[in-house]
Amino acid sequence: MLGRLLAGSLAAALASGFALAPSGAQPSGPARTSSRCGPDMVDIGGQFCIDRFETSLVDRTSGRRMSPYYHPSPALAARDRRQWERLARDSGPLAARAVPLPELPAWQLEPGVVPTARSEAGRVPSAYLDLESARLACENAGKKLCQKRQWLMACRSQHATRHPYGETFDPARCNLAAPLHPAVVLHGKQRLDGRDPRLNLVEHAGRALLRPTGTLLGCASPWEGDAVWDMEGNLDEWIDDPAGTFVGGFYARDTRWGCDARVEIHSADYYDYSLGARCCRV
């Protein structure tokens, strides 16, 4: 059952170019598009622009979509795949050991690929990012990794609330506190090594625990007729802090801190399945 479940999720991701069909409605588009910010970003009080959606990576030259299940560095992606080809066969429940790793496209390992941040609805957001890869992806898109004050202001909405949608926590709004932990499903226990490429393919009730961008319509930070999506939950997001800070919470963490949720215990070179990014521009 577990193997069929995860294999089905993998097939859906690969067949659609790493875009998963969302369950329920998608954002139909912003009510107001700022000419200053462009269609992929939201104007935050006239002070700066922020990506409307969590980062998904493409190659800057070809536009081909990079796998969201591996680090964008060819060396690290190849290393992690080799490691988990072995570990996946030797650890965890028997059903989980048969689950294949997601494809790592051969072209993604070639020289000259330039990982570039995109902000689009309905995409599997790119995880497995360390601070430097998140920063470079934004810079390759002509943007910058968000500063803490920018990220917090955007998350809290024009109403300056604790959560994107208001002051009071609502567990149905954003993708937090998943009913099961993907590491427990695949490894039999929650492990500190979160680089297994299969983790974000784990499903519950027929859909992946990691949701495509912008599919939870209640998890939006409103800004003057526009909105920023998924700033609470789904993936943690790096901010521009050399010490290494990520914010927002991810889908398997049970937190009620809303926009104030942050993790500061990892070094800047840390990466795992829970970590993505979002870009800003002044």
Q: For residue 61, what pLDDT is reported?
A: 96
CA distance 175 to 181: 13
Give the helix ranges, DSSP H, for the chain.
Answer: 2-15, 74-90, 94-97, 131-140, 148-155, 182-187
Q: For residue 104, what pLDDT is reported?
A: 98
Q: Which of 11-25, 142-156, 185-199, 266-280 has the lowest mean pLDDT?
A: 11-25
Q: For residue 213, what are its two tokens?
A: 């961008």
Q: For residue 34, what pLDDT is reported?
A: 63
Highest mean pLDDT among 19-23, 30-34, 79-83: 79-83
Is pLDDT at 268 greater than 90 in this prediction? yes
Render pLDDT for 45-73 as a digit per residue (tens, 0 to 9).
999 999 999 999 999 999 999 999 999 99
Q: Quick check: pTM over 0.85?
A: yes
Q: For residue 189, what pLDDT is reported?
A: 83
Q: For residue 7, what pLDDT is reported?
A: 45
Is pLDDT at 267 greater than 90 in this prediction? yes
Render pLDDT for 164-211 as a digit per residue (tens, 0 to 9).
999 999 999 999 999 999 999 999 987 767 999 999 999 999 999 999
Per the prediction, the chain carries an average pLDDT of 90
Q: For residue 15, what pLDDT is reported?
A: 38
Q: For residue 93, what pLDDT is reported?
A: 92
Q: For residue 140, what pLDDT is reported?
A: 98
Q: For residue 191, what pLDDT is reported?
A: 72
Q: For residue 234, what pLDDT is reported?
A: 98
CA distance 124 to 199: 13
pLDDT tier, 28 (very low <50, low <70, confident <90, very high otherwise): very low
Q: For residue 59, what are the contacts with CB-CB under 8 A and spacing of at least 6? A: 66, 107, 108, 113, 114, 115, 116
Between these two residues, 241 and 5, which has the higher pLDDT value? 241
Question: Residue 147, class by beta-carbon neighbours within 10 Å (0-12 exposed, 13-18 middle, 19+ buried)?
Answer: middle
Q: For residue 32, what pLDDT is reported?
A: 57
